[in-house]
Amino acid sequence: MIDLNINQELNKFASFNGIDEAFLPIFISKYLKLNNKLFLVLKDDKQLNEIESLISISNPNCKVLSIPAWDISPYDNSSPNKVLNGQRISTLSSLVNDDFLDDELVVLTTFNSIFIKTAPFDFYKNFFLDIFISQTISISNLRDKLTEMGYTKVHTVRENNEFTIRGDIIDIFNTGRENPIRIYLNNDKIEKISFFDALTQRNKSKLKIDNKLIIFPASEILLSKDNIEVFKKKYSCIFDIDLRNDDQYTKILSGHRISGIENYFSLFFDTALSNIFDLISKNKCFSDIKYLIFDKNINHVLKKLEEIELFYKRRSDEFLKVLQPDYNYLTLNEFKNYQKTLKFNFINDLQLSNSYDHFSKKIILPTSNSVNRSALEHLSEFINKQLNNRKTIIFCCEEKEKLFNYKKYFEGTIKDKKIKIIYLNYYDLLNSTELSNFIFCNINITNSFEFNNYIFVNESDYSHKNYKPKKSKIRKAENFLKDLNSLKANDFVAHVDHGVGIYRSLEIINISNNDHDCLKIEYSGGDKLFVPVENINLLSKIADGIENRILDKLGSSNWLIKKNKIKNKIDDLANKLITTAANRRVQNKVQIYEPKNYDEFVSNFSFDLTDDQETAIEDTLNDIYSNKLMDRLICGDVGFGKTEVAIRASFVVASSGKQVAIVAPTTILVEQHFKTFEDRFKDFDISIKSLSRMTKNNDRLKIKNDLNNGKLSIVIGTHALLSKDISFLNLGLIVIDEEQHFGVAQKERLKELQFDIHVLTLSATPIPRTLQLSLTGLKDLSLITTPPTNRLAVRTFVNEWDKVTLTDALKREIERDGQIFVVCPRIKDIEIVLKLIKTMSPESKISIAHGRLTPTELEDSIISFYQKESNILISTNIIESGIDIPNANTLIIYNADLFGLSQLYQLRGRVGRSDKRAYAYLTTKKGKILNNNAIERLKVLKTLDNLGAGFSLANYDLDIRGAGNLLGDEQSGQIRDIGYELYQKMLMETINSLKKNRITQYVNWSPTITIGKAVLIPEDYVEDLSTRMSLYRKIGDLTSNDEIKNFIEELNERFGPPPNEVSNLIYTISLKIICLKLNINFIDIGPKALIIGFRKQGEKEISKILDWVNKNNNFIKLRNDEKIVITLKGKSINRFKLLKDYLKEINYILRP
């Protein structure tokens, strides 16, 4: 057990000095033994997360509550993140209402948080909703209450603060929570509560849920009539001027939640705002809580107050209506008063008198960029020396496997064999009575430090590995993008048999005296086609931005002629693709095996692999070891670890004696890769060089010669590597990074090189052609959608261009020694933006980058920014990809509405590539009215978690732009003629046919099925039209009984037991699956007979069917139209079950 000599004497001191930041969690853990309730103010959110994570291990019975700060600057015209705001409300409500009298409790917050005033005490005391099993509730009352609490009623719950009611099922995304809840009622009584996934909408059965839940308000500012009236009175009193032209005032009076409404926080309450200290003081169980403030330099308080005053002045200087700071923020006098009455204790790492000193101090270890023998020996010498001085060494490493490897190493290098070496987890380290001089513990601390006789060695200091806070849940983009791309009224569609039309609406059509949902498609001349919903798969959406398409004429042969022409071209294309793929899949000449020192090589990697990375590496190496040529696309977001896949593949191939070429589109990317490779390979006998315009002529000549005679193993270069005067002795692997940035000639040269070598393509958002090759199965695909564990999502703001906000953004980034990207949609905008930036940040050094610069000027400008010679880069979207500058963590996009969704996503990927919080400001011109598409693009980008969405966006782009010619560089007119979705289906069908050595025509068809019952999803079961359409699209894609079963489960979870009409629809789909298998194109379930019609069958199949008819000719007949009629006998017969039985019989007789 670590002895901190903590006793009651400690409570006499007003400050604790000499406590290093890394030592703080241990100090807190031990201090809890003396005071079981602590209120701890920390410097920032990162430190808060670290402390929270470690306390949950060291003190498992301790309750930890966090009060996050708003993630915006004071007087910002943006609103804080909804999730953070929700966490803040739920924690404050808990502190006001819950009884913690007998609990061990730590409340964590930050300097930014304590200065933000809170709603009055009564808001948290009375304004919440209890939900529990067996509770009787009125649905209308619940709806009104949720609306009053600021929740928005939607059709499908996906975001915080939303709810929906579907009969006896209620979905609520409780503010500040990770998962929404689904409530099931039975006769107005709550029968069941479960969590569900906001993306899939499926219940999460593995997540346990309490029988009682509390629903907190969606916001501290609720726009009820009474609150708006209070605001109106206070606002007009403070700003005693003409308010008729006050846009913000008018919007709030109309109930509109404007961005930045928090600047008027105090105006929505009759009583004065409260604060964190006041709320806690009113709960009697906190009478003895200890307030600890970690103030490393004891100046955070003044700095924060100066910052608030500065922002207030900036806004005032713009003649904006802003409240003085004391309305919404604590003043210095208020803080000092609380400091005196609540007896704050300050913690720092200084060593002062009249205090309690622990004298922990940060120590510097022998460091190395990677674990190598000489550095290990140096560290071993340091540890032996400390052990000899009777010190206790605690070696900390979060990865257990690596920790035990270190333990084994040191067991062989410790000179004093009497020293006991043991492993303890973090809890046992602090609480165990077992004594040892050398302890290994699987935690990660911020830095190495010394305290009394203890020396904490942080493995991260030794290997330059960053501290990793706890993993946060990452929400993927796919479902949002699917919704964005779902079928809407007036969308262009292509019907496989009838051609291009416009989808107008979903209508109920009477078929055989029964209601049937059908999609109404309008064609040239106003002709209309009604497609039954079960055949929605015959329609393909055309989303290419062409507004005035020529519609096909129903009954015309033009569509068939056009489709057949494209089919012939697809046949040729598919043959070429298949031939190319087949040639590459011939047996490789030299078998490659795993190198003996592979484990030693990978141990140099200083980070934990994500699950996706491990899978991608395994896939890649299995390809190489398989004795077949690899052709794999690694698709992963910027900074997600694609390069590590290439590094390991390169090591394996180079170790076998073959050469490796890594081709990148820009000099700066080549230099970045070269530094990474050089660092990773430095302890291994593998030669690496880079070749770009920065390579000196003499070096260039030597590199060429070394490649030609095989002396050089790995070369990293730009397209210069593809020139005809460069030849390889034994090229085994080519790695292509960001292929979309190469020109036509370079791509043709790449094709020549790729014929008989392994190919690995790396891309964040791949060009549609490359992605389509993967989707057609001709290029293998590995996805890396999981971000590194220390990666933070980019905080995204969508606002009009605002000088004060952007000035603060520039100032904040420069003050933390960071850099800023400013991106314009057009070259002519750069001069305008340059003047604006110079006025906002006159001291900044600015570089310019755009397409009219010469290649040399462009690269010089970017390299200047890369080398930190400038701190702002103003450019067009030329920086969209291929540039990795972890120090740049603020992005400002001018006129963001002029960019496409994928472009905006790629641009945002330029920042947030380190463990620092990054910010993206998507700005539009003041007063500009945006079209719906632009609004939706910006809204989607802001809504989506940015981590891991690249592949989904590339997939979405296929629908927008088409895939282009797969073997050339030109865009495909055929795709524009019939739409990408149908083109893709036809190509897939053709390729699959060729793979099976058979030639078939494209066959996307659906049977006509009439069951004599209503077939639809009624509006009173699923009210929202877009949700019904989404379900119909999902139904159209069902291909097996397992998928049908899964779909029924989803319906039950989301909407409750399906009514008869939906059951009939599902039965129809089950028939359709059987019909497609048996080549049946017609089924009619009549009251007196079943009618079955077949598509064209082979001679053997026809003979088997005729034999079956003849054997049962007393009740089965063959009509003149070649349809089979099965007469039904008996009134109580189940026609639907009987049909399934006959279809099983037909399946049996048609078996091969």
Please say if the pLDDT value at position 272 is more than 60.
Answer: yes
Query: Do residues 540 and 493 lie in contact, with contact meaning Cβ atoms separated by under 8 Å?
Result: yes
d(CA 1054, CA 203): 8
Query: Which percentage of the chain shows pLDDT scores above 90?
Result: 30
Q: Do domains 129-215 and 1041-1149 have the same CATH topology?
A: no
CB burial of residue 610 (10 Å; 0-12, 13-18, 19+): buried
Q: Taking 50 as the threshold, does the pLDDT of residue 419 lie above it?
A: yes
Looking at the predicted structure, is the pLDDT value of residue 773 above 60? Answer: no
Q: How far apart are CA 791 and CA 770, in angstroms?
A: 28
- Res 12 pLDDT > 50: yes
Give me the CATH topology for the region 590-763: Rossmann fold (3.40.50)
Among 104-118, 525-539, 860-874, 880-894, the least confident range: 880-894
Q: What is the mean pLDDT of the chain?
A: 81
Q: Which of 43-57, 406-420, 744-758, 899-913 has the lowest mean pLDDT?
A: 744-758
Q: Is the pLDDT of residue 945 over 50?
A: no
Top-ranked range on mean pLDDT: pick from 475-484, 513-522, 796-805, 952-961: 513-522
Distance, CA of 485 to CA of 492 (rounded, Å)? 12
User: Is the confidence at residue 474, as pLDDT, over 60?
Assistant: no
pLDDT at 606 over 60: yes
Task: Give the model's pLDDT for residue 956.
Answer: 41
Q: Which CATH architecture has domain 8-122+270-357?
A: 3-Layer(aba) Sandwich (3.40)
User: Residues 485-502: pLDDT tens digits?
Assistant: 467 788 888 898 898 999
pLDDT, position 480? 35
Lowest mean pLDDT among 13-22, 58-67, 87-96, 886-895: 13-22
Q: Under a CB-based contact definition with an 8 Å cutoff, are residues 665 and 742 in contact?
A: yes
Instruction: Give the model's pLDDT for residue 978.
Output: 67
How much of the chain, in percent, has pLDDT values that exceed 70? 80
Q: List the chain domain ranges.
A: 8-122+270-357, 129-215, 363-463, 590-763, 795-946, 1041-1149
Indicate the pLDDT class of residue 776, thresholds 50, 70 and 90: very low
Q: What angle do CA 289, 295, 300 make, to 5 degrees?
A: 115
Class for the domain spanning 795-946: alpha beta
Q: According to the model, what pLDDT value does residue 475 have?
A: 36
Given CA atoms 605, 610, 612, 615 in this order, what sign does their dihedral have? positive
Choice between 296 and 1136, residue whose per-residue pLDDT is larger: 1136
Span 244-257, average pLDDT: 84
Structure tokens at 981: 């979705």
pLDDT band at 234 (very low <50, low <70, confident <90, very high): very high
| Contact by Cβ (8 Å): 176, 90 | yes
Of 169-173, 358-362, 905-909, the one with minimum mean pLDDT is: 358-362
DSSP string, 170-203: EEE--TT-SS-EEEEEETTEEEEEEEB-TTT--B
Task: Note the pLDDT of residue 996.
Answer: 60
The least confident of 139-153, 405-419, 577-591, 793-807 is 577-591
> What value does the mean pLDDT take over residues 804-830?
89
In the predicted model, what is the mean pLDDT of residues 765-779?
Answer: 50
Here the tokens at position 415 are 């000179």
pLDDT of residue 790: 54
- pLDDT score, position 485: 46
Q: CA-CA distance, 577 to 574, in Å (whole number)?
A: 5
> Comparing C-alpha atoms, which of 1083, 1095, 1085 is closest to residue 1127?
1085
What pLDDT does residue 90 have? 92
pLDDT, residue 95, reads: 93
Report which of residues 1060 and 1097 the model is more confident about.
1060
Q: What is the CATH number of domain 129-215?
A: 3.30.2060.10
528 band by pLDDT with thresholds 50, 70 and 90: very high
How do residues 362-385 score in pLDDT, each as one tens digit? 777 665 444 444 566 778 888 898
Q: Is the pLDDT at 154 greater than 80, yes or no?
A: yes
Q: What is the pTM of this model?
A: 0.68
What pLDDT score was predicted for residue 994? 61
pLDDT at 275: 94
Topology classification of domain 1041-1149: Aspartate Aminotransferase, domain 1 (3.90.1150)
Comparing 20-24, 301-305, 742-746, 1057-1061, which segment has the lowest mean pLDDT? Answer: 742-746
- pLDDT tens for residues 998-1015? 544 445 688 999 999 999
What's the pLDDT score for residue 807? Answer: 87
The pLDDT assigned to 357 comes to 56
Confidence of residue 981 (pLDDT cuts 50, 70, 90): low
Q: Which amino acid is at 749?
A: R
> Residue 470: its pLDDT value, please?
39
Assign 821 a pLDDT band (cuts: 50, 70, 90): very high
Confidence tier at 473 by pLDDT (50, 70, 90): very low
Buried b or exposed e, range 829-860, using 16+ CB within 10 angstroms: bbeebbebbeebbeebebbbbbeebeeeebbe
Q: Range with the lowest mean pLDDT among 17-26, 104-113, 117-126, 1036-1045?
A: 17-26
Using the predicted structure, report yes or no on whether residue 274 has a pLDDT greater than 90.
Answer: yes
Least confident of 462-466, 640-644, 920-924: 462-466
